[in-house]
Structure 1
Amino acid sequence: MKLSPDIISRGYHLLCPTGDRTLSLRGLRISVIANLGTTNDDYDSIDLSNNDIIKLENFPLLTRLKTLIVAGNRISKIANDISESLPNLTSLVLTNNSITSVSQLEPLFNCKKLERLAVLDNHVVAVPHFREYLIHKIPSLKYLNFTRINQKEREESNTLFNSDKRDKLLAEMGYTLENNNNEDE
C-alpha cells in the first residue's frame, strides 16, 4: 500500500515532553513512501516501523526531521539523495530490515549530521570490519547500534582504513573500489 495523504492525516500525531512533534505510521502495511510533503515539514520524528517498505526513498525536503524510525520493514535500498532530502537527520533506526552489504548504506555517508545509526538484525552486521568502516565513513556518528563510539575506536577505525591494508579490508567486506565512488575523499 502506498503512503497516501489520507493515511498520513489518520496517523498518530504526538507531542513529546521535549516539545518534539512525532508522526507515527507504524504497522499500516505501507510498502511505498510517498506524499510526505503533505506533512508540511511539521515533524521532528517520523516512525514508519513494522510496515512493508523495501526502498527508503521518495522523501521531499524535510528540514525539520531529525529522527526517522523504519525498523521491521524489508528495506534493502536507500535513495542516493537522502542526505539532500533529510539534511538535518541525526537518528536513523534501520533495525530488522534486509541490509546485506555495506554498499547499501553508502548514501548515508553524505548525511553530515547523522549521530545515531542502528542496523542491528540486518545481515550487514556480520560483514568483517563493518563497524569500523561505518565509523570511518560517517565521522559525525556518536552511536552505532546503540553503542557509544569512543575516541579510541574512532582513531583505530580511521587508522585501519587509511592504511595500506584498506583495499584488502574492503575486498574482505565484498566492497570494491569500483562500487565505491567516495573512497578517495
Structure 2
Amino acid sequence: MRLTSDVITNARAYYNALKQRELDIRGIRIPVMENLGAAQNQFDVIDLSDNSITKIENIPKFDRLNTLLLSNNLISRIASGLGANVPNCENLNLSNNRIEDFGELEHLKDWKHLSNLSLIDNPIVVEKDFRARVVAILPQLTVLNFQRVTQKDREAAKQYMTSE
C-alpha cells in the first residue's frame, strides 16, 4: 500500500497517554515514506511501525514532531540532511530493522535534539564497541536502547575516537 495523502488524512489521530497528539500509520505495509506533508505539522508523535519501509527519507518540515516511531520495518538506510526538518525530534525508535552500518548513523548528526535512540534488534548492535561508537557519532544521546548513556559510555566513546 502506498502512503498517500488520503491514507494520512484517514489515519487514526489521537492524544496519547502523555497528552501528545499522535498519528497512527502502523501495520499497513507501507514501503516508502512519502506524502507526509499531508500531516501538516499537527503531530508530536508519528508512528510508522510495523510497515515495510526500507529508508528514512522524504520527511517534510515538522517543527512540532517530538517522536518518530519506525520499529519493525526493513530500514537499512537513512537519508542525509533531514535534521533541519525535524528540529525538535528527541526520540527515534528504529528497533527491529536492518541497520548494519555505522555510516548510516552519521546521517542523524544533524538531528540536534535527538536524545533517545533505540537500535535494538538491528544487525549493528552486535558490532564491537557498539555503544561507544554510537555515542561517539551522536554525543547528545542520553538514552540508547532504553538504557541511560553513562559517563563510562562517554569515556569509552572518547577513547574509541582517539584510537581511530
* 1:88-146, Cα deviation, whole Å (9 max, x unpaired): 11000001111111112210122111110001111011111121011122121011011
Give the corresponding residue for 1:159.
Answer: 159
Give the corresponding residue for 2:117.
Answer: 117
* 1:54-97, Cα deviation, whole Å (9 max, x unpaired): 11101111110010000010011111022122111100000111
The structure 1 segments of at least 4 consecutive aligned residues displaced by more than 6 Å after TM superposition are none
Give the corresponding residue for 1:134.
Answer: 134
Give the corresponding residue for 1:42.
Answer: 42
| Distance in 1 between residues matched to 2:98 and 2:77, nearest whole Å | 9
Q: CA RMSD in A?
A: 1.2
| Distance in 2 between residues matched to 1:60 and 1:160, nearest whole Å | 34
| Distance in 2 between residues matched to 1:60 and 1:93, nearest whole Å | 18
Normalising by the residue count of structure 1, what TM-score does the alignment of the two structures yield? 0.84
Give the corresponding residue for 1:21.
Answer: 21
Which structure 2 residues correspond to residues 61-76 of structure 1 after superposition, within 5 A? Answer: 61-76=61-76
**Partners of 1:22 and 1:45 within 8 A in 2:** yes
Normalising by the residue count of structure 2, what TM-score does the alignment of the two structures yield? 0.95
Give the corresponding residue for 1:174.
Answer: none
Give the corresponding residue for 1:103.
Answer: 103
In percent, how many aligned pairs have the same letter? 38
**Partners of 1:135 and 1:157 within 8 A in 2:** yes
| SS of aligned partner of 1:133 | helix
| SS of aligned partner of 2:117 | strand
> Which amino acid counterpart does residue 22 of structure 2 have in structure 1?
T
Give the corresponding residue for 1:147.
Answer: 147
**How many pairs align?**
164
- Structure 2 gaps of 5+ residues are none
**Partners of 1:67 and 1:90 within 8 A in 2:** yes
> How much does 1:151 deviate?
1.9
| Distance in 1 between residues matched to 2:128 and 2:105, nearest whole Å | 15
Work out which of the two has the higher radius of gyration on C-alpha atoms and give 1 or 2: 1
